[in-house]
Each structure stands twice: as structure tokens, then as C-alpha cells.
Chains A and B, each alone.
Chain A
Amino acid sequence: MKYDTIIIGAGMSGLAAGIRLAYYDQKVALLERHTTIGGLNSLYRLRGRNYDVGLHAVTNYAPPGSKSGPMSKLLKQLRLRWDDFDLSPQDSSRISFPGHDLDFSNDFSHLQSQIDLEFPTQSDGFQRLVNYITEFDELNLDQQPVSARQIVSTFLSEPVLVDMLFCPLMFYGSPTSHDMDFSQFVVMFKSIFQQGFARPFKGVRQILKTLTRQLKSLGGELKLRHGVKRILTHHGKAIGVELEDGRQLEADTILSSIGVAETMALCPGFESLSQQQPQYRPGEISFCEIIYVLKSLPQTLGHKQTIVFYNSLPDFHYEPPTEPCDLRSGIICSPNNFLYNADANGLIPSLEDGIMRVTALANPDYWLNLSPEEYASEKLIWERRIYESARAHMPEFRDQILDIDMFTPKTIKRFTGHFHGCVYGSPVKHLQGKTPLDHLYLIGTDQGFLGIVGSMLSGITMANNHVLNAR
């Protein structure tokens, strides 16, 4: 079987790339190892309930009909309509540090006025930083990495404010500890603070369903349970894949969304590249998350924020923790607390259950190396500890719990294949998408556009640059 393009992985970036190529009449196949699509942003059913994993919120929100910005670009490129994603904006979110809270919403002036109030000496510097960010072209693929902390601290002299701004941006996208590349910082700053959060009422399934429908209507093939055992090469060129079951599929081009280290490990002669060369090193940032299903809505318990980014120390530590989970900081997300669009009858829909998701940095090696018995008991212990550490930022709700599920780096590794169960990919991004092999390109997190919208734009951009524009 010969394809124009084979895409490895049916997550956001793979689906978006597949739609682009199928739209322009390519014979394209998406190969997904798992029984379900989505990769890092997926869904499952457990004890009679639907769960989302990954997506807390879609970033890069823009009001329907906006003509510019990443969301509009994405919809145009995929030939989708605004209501296909059914996005409803957040209410308001909070960054909470000892002695300081900063609230923000999808109206950027909200954050600006909060900073004027909490950090009056930093107002001017913040404004100059915002101007600098506005002028910065984060989509230039020829960019060299520079330290975001270094640049930001030339504008802001208050270390707590710097940490508070980095906190949500790192939690929602940084593959590197402590610091970020400035262009990634700009991508995240614009997508979270200036554009903002949104969520489809039906969660990630709304987006995945839309993408799958579009892909299939254009003739793209989606093949589940099709794990790739190795990438076939000939004279430095990728020419196809061998599947787990031994079948071989040929293709002119291969786009891989599974991560740079994970991709190269499938290429004969390059298996140990990620141990030899630092730019192919896999990421190590991973998380544990607990999803609480509650009898009552968070609002009625007094929790109104959409997302709370909390940190209990004066400074913020973003790194793989030495402990199994980092209890110093975390994220609390309530999918109930979005401003859902009214339905055709003018009624505002409400999610069936109250949901609180609490997320904390986790140590991948610890979780990956536990025996099954230890794993089960450690989950119980750390669920309780994370709950207690988040308690200062949310109401007591233990007596309201209907069900609990928890994922760890082990779960993430199982469903994404990422070494270490990393969430934001490799520390070094490959903006051009190139690999040591011709006709093999990276899409998704390791190419370097972040977030759900970013990952879809990554698939689109690489499909445009390396396949459509190259023919």
C-alpha cells in the first residue's frame, strides 16, 4: 500500500495535518497505536461517566467571527466554522502566590489593572513588556532560543511578579525547567493572557469529533491500533513504516507527532540519537492529575474561578520534583466554571456533575518504576496529599465526592508513548520540523507550537511547508 503521506499519531497535530493534506487530494493515512484518538488530549469512559484528559482549556480564545489571530487562522486552514468547536469563554482565573493574587480573564485589561493594583511600581515596566511582546514575531521559524527570564527581568524588577507571570505559562506549556525560550513565552503569553481560555461544552470530544469528521469527509484514512514498529529508510530518506503486526506501508512523506526522541528511536541507525545528542533529548516534565466528580457544582460550594494556578512558596519552582509529586504548587480547574453559550432555546446548559481537576508536577521515574501494588497504594496516598496542598485555594469538598480518577506519568506514557510520560515534549524544539532523515518531519509539541491550537497549527504549518508547498 502506497500513500502520499503517512502521519504517525492521531492527536491534534496529526488530525490537523491530515485534514490539510486530504483537502488537497493527498492519499493520507493517520496511524494511531491506541484504540482511541487524541493522544495527550483524549477522552475515556469510566464507571458510567465521560472524562477528558489533557485539555483544561483551549487557549487562544477569540470571539466568533474574529478575522485575525491563531484561532481564525486555524479554522480557515481546516475549512471549519466557528461553531464547529463550540467554544465558550472562561469566567475568570487566578494566579495565587503568598501575599499576592492576580485575577485575569479573557479581557486583557483585567490583568493589567490587577498588576497596577498589586504591583504599582511595575505598571510601566509591564506595559513596556506588553509592547515588546506585541511587536515580537513568535512565528518566525528561524528564531534562536533565548532566555525568557532574562528578557522579562529587563522590564520587571519584582521577582514575585515575574514568577507569577511565568507560573501559568510554564504550567500550560513549558518543556523546560525554571526558564523558557522567549519565543515560547510569547506564544504562551499571547495565547493565555491576551487571547484567553475557552472550552467546548462537550469538552475535548467536541474538537476531536469535528476533526475526525472533517478528515473522513475529505477521504483521509484513520487507522486505530496501528502502532509503528519502525520507520523504513533508504539512503538517508524515510520511505515508509513497518507496523507492529509486520505489515509495511510506503509513503512519499512521513509526518511524526510522537516526539523527536520517540521518532528517532524508530529509525534504523538513529535509535540511540536521543542519548547522544542533547537536541534530541526527550522531555521530563510530567504531571499527576486528580479528577473529582462532585455531587454539587463548584460554584455552589463557593469556588467560582475557572482555573487557579497556585504556589505556596515566595518563589516558583517548575521542575521535575525530587518527591513523587510537587506539593508546593499546582493547578485547579473546574470545567463547570466556563460561561457556556445558551442553546437554541436560550437555556444555558450545565454539566451533569460538578468537576474539580487538581494537577501537580510529578517525578516520572518514581511513578514509572513502581510495582502494580505500590502504584495503586501510592496513588491513594498522593491523591490525599495533593488535595490537602490545594485546600488553601478551594473549598472543602471531600463529603461531596461521587467518584475519583487519577492519572500519573505512567498513564501518560501508556497513552502517548512519550518517554518519561512527558507532557510538553522535548526541551529543544525543532521549529523547522526537520529530522536527520529526508522526507521525515516532526509535527506537534516537539516542532514547537504549544497548546491545543498551537499543536493543530503545527500540523498545518508543517503540512504546508514540507508537503503542499514542496510538491
Chain B
Amino acid sequence: MAPSEIRQVILDILTRIAPDEDLSNLDDSKAFREQMELDSMDFLDIVMELRKQYRVQIPEEDYHHLVTMDSTVTYLTPILKDTPKTASAR
């Protein structure tokens, strides 16, 4: 996946976790938590959804990379570069 596709994957996950949030004005350089209601349970869900959909194992010591959209995409780009985007994710 290209960085733009990874961004879309994360957006889809956020939409699934927080269906009532308006993500159209998300600032990619700002922390998710400053822009939407995300608690530690939701945060675990981002990690779990990535594991479920793309078999990505993110170790706990790397969670701090998932703070903003930019840092998340940067972190995932090398990991997901050979993984095709799937449409099967529910």
C-alpha cells in the first residue's frame, strides 16, 4: 500500500470505531486525541483492527507512533508496503 492508501485504511478504522465523529476536517499533524473522543479502549481498537485486517503486530512499545495521522502513516508505510489493500474488512 502507498501512504495515501494507508491513510484511508486508518480513516476507515476511525470511522468504524467512532461512527459519530466528523473526520472530514481531521488535521493529519495533530494528535487524534485532541480532535476526537478517543480513549485507551478506542486506541486498542486501532491496533486490533490493523491486526485483524492486515495481520500487523504492533508491539506495545511502538504505540507512541500512533499519535497523529502523519506519524501513524509514516510508521506503517515500511510495514505495509508489500501488503495489498483489502476490501474484505468488515
- Chain A residues with CB under 8 Å of chain B are 24-25, 65, 67-68, 72-73, 76-77, 79, 81, 460-461, 464, 468-469
Contact = CB atoms under 8 A, between A and B. Distances in A.
Contact residues on B (Cβ < 8 Å of other chain), bracket: 10 to 19
Interface stretch (B25-33, B35-43, B66-74): B35-43
Contacts of B21: 67
A229 to B, nearest CB: 34
A10 B17 CA distance: 25
Contacts of B20: 65, 67, 72
A76 B52 contact: no
Contact of B44 (A65, A81, A464): A464
Contacts of B51: 24
Contacts of A79: 16
Q: Which 3 A-B pairs have the closest CB atoms?
A: A67-B37, A68-B37, A65-B20
A319 B52 CA distance: 48
Contacts of A77: 41, 45
A469 B39 contact: no
A73 B19 contact: no
Contact of B17 (A25, A76, A81): A76
Contacts of A68: 37
Given A76-B19, A77-B41, A461-B41, 5 more contacts: A24-B48, A77-B45, A79-B16, A81-B19, A468-B44
A81 B16 CA distance: 11
B24 to A, nearest CB: 16
A15 B11 CA distance: 28
A65 B18 CA distance: 10
B44 A76 contact: no
A76 B48 contact: no
B48 A73 contact: no
Given A24-B48, A24-B52, A464 B19 contact: no
Contacts of B36: 67
Nearest to B17: A76
Nearest to B60: A469
Contacts of A73: 39, 41
Interface of B: 16-21, 36-37, 39, 41-42, 44-45, 48, 51-52
A25 B39 CA distance: 23
Contacts of B39: 73
A464 B48 CA distance: 10
5 contacts: A24-B52, A67-B36, A67-B37, A73-B39, A81-B19
A67 B52 CA distance: 25
A79 B18 CA distance: 9
B61 to A, nearest CB: 14
A469 B41 contact: no
B12 to A, nearest CB: 13
A385 to B, nearest CB: 46
A72 B36 CA distance: 13
Contacts of A469: 44
A67 B33 CA distance: 13
Contacts of B17: 76
Nearest to A218: B90
Contacts of B19: 76, 81
A415 B36 CA distance: 42
A259 to B, nearest CB: 25
A460 to B, nearest CB: 7
Contacts of A461: 41
Contact of B18 (A76, A81, A468): A76
Contacts of B16: 79
B23 to A, nearest CB: 13
B3 to A, nearest CB: 26
A468 B42 contact: no
A461 B45 CA distance: 12
Nearest to A82: B20
A24 B20 CA distance: 22
Contacts of A72: 20, 37
A32 B52 CA distance: 28
| Most chain A C-beta atoms within 10 Å of own C-beta, residue among B17, B20, B21, B51 | B20
A468 B60 CA distance: 13
Nearest to A73: B41
A177 B39 CA distance: 34
A81 B20 CA distance: 10
B16 to A, nearest CB: 7
Contact of B52 (A25, A65, A464): A25
Contacts of A81: 19
A76 to B, nearest CB: 6
A468 B37 contact: no
A454 to B, nearest CB: 14
B44 to A, nearest CB: 6
A68 B18 CA distance: 10
B49 to A, nearest CB: 9
